[in-house]
Structure formats: structure tokens, C-alpha cells
């Protein structure tokens, strides 16, 4: 029973692994860049930080693309932040191709729509705690609809696809902040930084039998 | 709606929180991890550690604190103080910090903001600006605890660091810091309106009204305070309830 946190050299994975250890058997959590370890794991967590073109390049530089795609086919798989964005077809950030697991494009928050109801300017990056409107999914178990999670990002998936979108957030415009299909769940926010509700989501993932 | 954030700040030197704290029920009021945990329980949106360690041979202590904090406190952690090089940024992030704040080094070497944000991403880079009023409606950036006037206009400097890749600005009024007279609201508003990145207001909080004013009149995206929380005058939860009652969006 191994939970592999995929390490392709983009940023700090300590928070992700420590949060998983907090809700799972700590022996089970491994941070790894080894495709064989990913292939052997029971569950896979795919985090991501920084710019998506760098993330894609580093993933390929470590020969992890196939291992990620294989894991996304058949085992409980959790994408986080840029790890969520990379599952889509393309990103405007550096105009780079993603892994194409899900249809859709990752776009920058559009300048023209970055105003709130009172006309005040909305800052980018979208940084802080925002409400997530849930669509029914096992990973929301024990988390109230509308609970807040911690976000920090400037790009997002702006199309909302019924049957794929499992969570939406509004920041200037509504966007998809969680997606789920079969064995895959992926979130734009950071569950590992989202206090109790974030830990609950990770616990749900660890116990998930899709 | 995105919530306005409340951020308690801890000054840490050689592994201990200074300026004192007197939480009820803490085994050790000087332990930064224990205090960070307490703020997390109260609903703090983030925690900031400012390392004010003077001697360089004790600098690494903060790394161990950040590591221990990241194992136990699952909210964002910003660390500042003594950051001089991209390597310093990287080491703090690897230890478990989510954001790293730079101040004097950014003034002395603005390329550091660009280099660091290019390497680790803008979302991890906070530029701390210590500002002091020099004429009506005019503030300069100061370093060395408010002793050294850099001659830089605070609002222009804020715009410049945004262009260089900063993801957030931590704005402290040196005139108000420690006074408990409230934020410098014209300064806060001037900077917040001038940039497209989030601004954290700091310096001068003495009561809960000051926090609310920082958001509603200063247009800050987040408010930072130290002493009103450390000395148990108010909990973070009380601060949020106060702001919520005034129509400010907060995470309760």
C-alpha cells in the first residue's frame, strides 16, 4: 500500500507529503521520481508548482510522462494545482501542450473580467481562501458545500463541463476548480494548505475506492 | 467570494519567538511551532515568520522551525528575514515555506526579485516594503528598521517589484509600526490601487476596527498583526467575527 507523490523537481513537495502522512499511514507515503515506484504504487498524487511549461519540460526530462499517464488510467489519482492544469489539453501559459487526459484549455484570468460586484479590481494571482461549490463526489465526503480552500494561481480552466467538473469557484468569472472522472480527481486549490477541510479531502482520497 | 485574509506575524530569533506572547494554556509561549498551531486552531488564514536573527551562524535554525511547522500546521506559511540570494529562497521553500519575503536585498539588488520569481514562480515571492511618510501623500522606502531612507517612492517601488515578478506585497508603515494607532490607510490604499497583485497591510494595529479599516478603507487584500494576537487581547476568530459583522468576506 504505497501512495506515490510524484517529484519532477518543481518545488516543494514536503507540505503535500506531510499532509498525506497526517491522514494516512506515514510509512505508505513516498516522494518519488522513479517511474517504477509510480507504477507499483497503489495511489498516485500529482502536484505541481510554478509555470506549466517548466513543469511539462521537467516531467519529460525525468521520463515520467508515461508513468503519469498509466497511473491516470487505472489507479486512484489526485492532481493538485499545476498538477490539475497539466491534465488538460493545453495551457495559454507559454502556449504549451498538456497531457490531454481531460478536454479543455487552461487560460489566464481575463483582465477585463477582474472586477467584483462592487466594481473593485480583483488581484491576480487569485490568492487566498475561496468558496468551492461542489458537484456530488466521494472526495467531498464530510466537507460542507461552499467550504473554502486555499488557492494561489493566475491560470485556470474556464469551461465548466457537466460530468467532469466536480467543483466550481467564482473569481471574476466561474471556473472549474475540481474535476473528476473514474479514478481521477484533480483540484486547482491546495488541499495540503487548506486546514481541516483540506486534510479531510486528502483523507477521503486515501480511503477512496473508485 | 475570495475572503480577506488575517495573518498573525511572529518575530523569531535563534529559534524563539520574541516580543513575547502570553497565550493561556501554552506549555511554552516562546515556541514558534506551538504558537503557529494555536493560530491555526483559531482560524488564521496564513502565518508569517520573520527571522530577525542577527548572527549569520544561527541562520539555519529557521530552516528547522519551518520544517517542523510544515509537518504540523496545514495553512500557508510565509518566511522572511535575511533572504539575500535565490539559494536562500530555495532553501526556505524546500524546508516547507510556501512564500518567501524579501526586503533590503530587493532594494539593493532588484534583479533578485526577477531571478527568484523566474526560478520558483511569482506566487512564492513576497516583497516587503517598509515605508515612511516624507511629505503629505508621499512615502519613501526605508531599510534597516526605518533608519535608512533609500529615496525610492513607495508606490513607484511597489509597481516596479510587481513588474519584476513579485506575487504579493507586504506593506509596513514605519510611522505606525508599534503605535497601535491603526494602519496608514492612505499609504495602503495608494499602493493597493497602484498594483494588480495582492497587498498585505501591516504596522499599527491596536484594535479590531483597525483591521476592518485596512480592508475597507485601505483596500488591502490581507491584514497582518502581531501584538493584538500575541498578548491574547483578541483571538483571530474574534477578529474575523468582527470583520464579518461589518460586511467583510472572511473565512469563518
Express each pLDDT in B232-246 by its tens digit: 889 999 999 999 999
What is the pLDDT averaged over residues A95-114? 96
Question: What pLDDT is stored for residue B15 in this prediction?
Answer: 87
What is the pLDDT averaged over residues A73-83? 97
CA distance B220 to chain A (A): 11
Query: Cell numbers of B8, please?
Result: 498573525
Residue pair A81/A48 in contact (Cβ under 8 Å)? The answer is yes
Q: Which domains are present in chain B? A: 5-245 (3.20.20.70)
CA distance A29 to chain B (A): 14
On whether any CB of chain A is under 8 Å from the CB of B54, the answer is no
Q: Give chain A positions within 8 Å (CB) of B40.
A: 195
* Interchain pair B5, A116: CB under 8 A: no
Place of cell 504504487: A41
* Interchain pair A153, B123: CB under 8 A: yes
Q: DSSP assignment of chain B, as one string?
A: -PPPEEEEEEEEETTEEES----TT-S-TT-HHHHHHHHHHHT-S-EEEEE---SGGGTTHHHHHHHHHHHH--S-EEEESS--SHHHHHHHHHHT-SEEEE-HHHHH-THHHHHHHHHH-GGGEEEEEEEEEEETTEEEEEETTTTEEEEEEHHHHHHHHHHHT-SEEEEEETTTTTT-S---HHHHHHHHHH-SS-EEEES---SHHHHHHHHHTT--SEEEESHHHHTSSS-HHHHHHHHHHTT-----
Identify the closest residue of chain B to A14 by CA–CA distance: B96
Query: Cell numbers of B131, please?
Result: 515605508
Give the list of residues 6+ apart from residue B41 with CB closer than 8 angstroms, or none: none
What's chain A's average pLDDT? 95
Choose the closest CB to A125 out of B5, B167, B193: B167
On whether any CB of chain A is under 8 Å from the CB of B251, the answer is yes
Give the count of beta carbons closer than 10 Å to the beta carbon of residue A141.
12
Which ipTM score applies to this complex? Answer: 0.93
Residue pair A71/A77 in contact (Cβ under 8 Å)? The answer is yes
What is the pLDDT averaged over residues A161-173? 96
What's chain B's average pLDDT? 92
Identify the closest residue of chain A to B75 by CA–CA distance: A193
Q: What is the radius of gyration, based on Cα positions, of chain A?
A: 16
B contact test, residue of A57, A85, A108, A129 with most B CBs within 10 A: A129
* Interchain pair B222, A128: CB under 8 A: yes
Angstrom distance (rounded) from CA B216 to CA B196: 17
Angstrom distance (rounded) from CA B131 to CA B153: 9
Q: Which residues of B are catalytic?
A: 11, 130
Helix (H, G, I), strand (E, B), or coil: what is residue A14?
A: helix
Dump pLDDT digits (tens) for A170-188.
Answer: 999 999 999 999 999 999 9
Q: Which residues of A are catalytic?
A: 81, 190, 192
Residue pair A130/A146 in contact (Cβ under 8 Å)? The answer is no
Between A186-190, B45-49, B53-57, B201-205, the lowest mean confidence (pLDDT) is in: B53-57
Q: Give chain B positions within 8 Å (CB) of A121.
A: 193, 196
Dump pLDDT digits (tens) for B138-195.
Answer: 999 999 878 899 999 999 999 999 999 999 999 999 999 989 999 999 999 999 999 9
Residue pair B238/B204 in contact (Cβ under 8 Å)? The answer is no
Angstrom distance (rounded) from CA A191 to CA A20: 10
Give residue limits of the domains in chain A.
Answer: 3-207
Pick from B10, B18, B85, B46: which is nearest to B200 by CA? Answer: B46
Residue pair B23/B53 in contact (Cβ under 8 Å)? The answer is no
Question: What pLDDT is stored for residue B23 in this prediction?
Answer: 64
Given a cut of 80, is residue A76 above it in pLDDT? Answer: yes
Query: Cell numbers of B220, please?
Result: 488591502
* Interchain pair A18, B71: CB under 8 A: yes
Question: In chain A, which among 148-207 make CB contacts under 8 A with chain B?
Answer: 148, 150-154, 170-171, 190, 192-195, 198-199
Strands A155-157 and A3-6: unpaired
Report how far apart, in Å, the C-alpha atoms of A62 and of each of A45, A56, B61, B75 are.
Answer: 16, 10, 33, 30
Residue pair B113/B160 in contact (Cβ under 8 Å)? The answer is no
Q: Give chain A positions within 8 Å (CB) of B86.
A: none
| Residue B55 pLDDT class (50, 70, 90 cuts) | low
CATH number for the domain running over A3-207: 3.40.50.880
Q: Dihedral sign for Cα A167, A170, A174, A175, please.
A: negative
Helix (H, G, I), strand (E, B), or coil: what is residue A7?
A: coil
Amino acid at each position: 500500500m504505497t501512495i506515490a507523490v510524484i517529484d519532477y523537481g518543481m518545488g516543494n513537495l514536503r507540505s503535500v507529503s506531510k499532509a498525506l502522512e497526517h491522514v494516512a499511514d506515514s510509512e505508505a507515503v513516498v516522494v518519488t521520481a522513479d517511474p517504477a515506484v509510480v507504477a507499483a504504487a497503489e495511489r498516485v498524487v500529482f502536484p505541481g508548482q510554478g509555470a506549466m511549461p517548466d513543469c511539462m519540460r521537467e516531467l519529460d526530462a525525468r521520463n515520467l510522462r508515461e508513468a503519469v499517464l498509466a497511473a491516470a488510467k487505472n489507479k486512484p489519482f489526485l492532481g493538485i494545482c499545476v498538477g490539475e492544469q497539466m491534465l488538460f489539453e493545453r495551457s495559454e501559459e507559454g502556449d504549451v501542450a498538456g497531457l490531454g487526459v481531460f478536454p479543455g484549455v487552461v487560460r489566464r484570468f481575463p483582465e477585463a473580467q477582474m472586477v467584483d460586484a462592487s466594481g473593485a479590481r480583483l488581484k491576480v494571482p487569485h490568492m487566498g481562501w475561496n468558496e468551492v461549490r461542489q458537484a456530488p463526489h466521494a472526495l467531498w465526503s464530510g466537507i460542507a458545500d461552499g467550504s473554502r480552500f486555499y488557492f494561489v494561481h493566475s491560470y485556470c480552466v474556464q469551461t465548466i463541463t457537466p460530468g467532469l467538473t466536480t467543483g466550481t469557484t467564482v473569481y471574476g468569472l466561474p471556473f472549474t476548480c475540481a474535476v473528476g472522472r473514474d479514478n481521477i480527481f484533480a483540484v486547482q486549490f491546495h488541499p495540503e494548505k487548506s486546514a481541516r477541510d483540506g486534510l479531510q479531502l486528502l483523507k477521503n482520497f486515501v480511503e477512496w475506492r473508485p | 467570494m475570495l475572503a480577506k485574509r488575517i495573518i498573525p506575524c511572529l518575530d523569531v530569533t535563534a529559534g524563539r519567538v520574541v516580543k513575547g506572547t502570553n497565550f493561556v494554556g501554552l506549555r511554552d509561549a516562546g515556541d514558534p511551532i506551538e504558537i503557529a498551531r494555536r493560530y491555526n486552531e483559531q482560524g488564521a488564514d496564513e502565518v508569517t515568520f520573520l527571522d530577525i536573527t542577527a548572527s549569520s551562524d544561527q541562520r539555519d535554525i529557521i530552516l528547522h522551525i519551518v520544517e517542523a511547522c510544515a509537518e504540523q500546521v496545514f495553512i500557508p506559511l510565509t518566511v522572511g528575514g535575511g533572504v539575500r540570494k535565490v539559494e536562500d529562497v530555495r532553501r526556505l521553500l524546500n524546508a516547507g515555506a510556501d512564500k518567501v519575503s524579501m526586503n533590503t536585498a530587493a532594494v539593493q539588488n532588484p534583479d533578485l526579485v526577477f531571478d527568484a520569481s523566474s526560478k520558483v514562480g511569482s506566487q512564492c515571492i513576497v516583497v516587503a516594503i517598509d515605508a515612511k511618510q516624507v511629505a503629505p501623500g508621499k512615502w519613501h522606502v526605508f531599510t534597516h528598521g526605518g533608519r535608512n531612507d533609500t529615496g525610492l517612492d513607495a508606490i513607484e517601488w511597489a509597481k516596479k517589484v510587481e513588474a519584476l515578478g513579485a506575487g504579493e506585497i507586504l506593506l509596513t508603515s514605519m510611522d505606525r509600526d508599534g503605535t497601535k494607532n491603526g494602519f496608514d490607510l492612505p499609504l495602503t490604499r495608494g499602493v493597493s490601487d497602484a498594483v494588480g497583485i495582492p497587498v498585505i497591510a501591516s504596522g499599527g494595529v491596536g484594535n479590531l476596527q483597525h483591521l476592518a479599516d485596512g480592508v475597507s478603507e485601505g483596500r488591502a487584500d490581507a491584514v497582518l498583526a502581531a501584538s493584538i494576537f500575541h498578548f491574547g487581547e483578541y483571538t483571530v476568530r474574534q477578529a474575523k467575527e468582527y470583520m464579518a459583522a461589518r460586511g467583510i468576506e472572511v473565512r469563518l
